[in-house]
Amino acid sequence: MKRRVLTIDDQADIRRLIRMTLEFEGFEVLEAGNGLDGLGLARRERPDLILLDVMMPGIDGLAVSQTIQSDPQLSSIPVVMLTALDRDGDIEAGLESGVKAYLVKPFGPIELIDTVHQLIDAAKGALA
């Protein structure tokens, strides 16, 4: 069974880069262009991991992460923050919102793949 990753980012080029990287590794990749659509897709599809941008129109990534953490149906899904915000306060806010990892754009494909594998494996191990 393919592992499923949901990318929530308002930049189509970033979503495309992530999709190409992860599909090459055998992942199924779902995409949403904003936080509200991403939450709906997460609830319907129950991905193994969510990649989440911070700065998006409407609901920002921090609010999306907090919503995921407070939802019993979604709270076991690991969330990775992908953002250009790299100040200590930004990272701290991301981690406080419940994300499991924080990757700063531009990130490398190997770093992305390694992070995704580690967090999905850890989450699956915790459920076993």
Q: What is the pLDDT of residues 107-118, one digit of tens each?
A: 899 999 999 999
Q: What is the CATH number of the domain that holds 17?
A: 3.40.50.2300
How far is Cα 98 from Cα 118, in angstroms, rounded to an integer? 17
- Cα–Cα distance between 82 and 91 in angstroms, integer? 10
Question: Domain range for residue 55?
Answer: 4-127
Other C-beta atoms closer than 10 Å to the C-beta of 72 total: 6
Looking at the chain, list the stretches that DSSP marks H as alpha helix, in order from N- to C-terminal side: 12-24, 35-45, 61-70, 88-96, 109-127
With beta carbons less than 8 A apart as the criterion, state whether 45 and 4 touch: yes
The answer, yes or no, to whether residue 128 has pLDDT greater than 60, is no
Q: What is the mean pLDDT of residues 69-77?
A: 95
Number of domains, the chain: 1
The pLDDT of residue 50: 98
Residue 23 has pLDDT above 80, yes or no: yes
pLDDT in tens, 78-111: 999 988 766 767 777 777 888 899 888 888 999 9
Q: Which of 27-36, 41-50, 69-78, 100-109 has the lowest mean pLDDT?
A: 100-109
Q: How far is CA 6 from CA 17, 87, 90, 92, 107, in A?
A: 13, 25, 22, 23, 17
Residues in the chain: 128
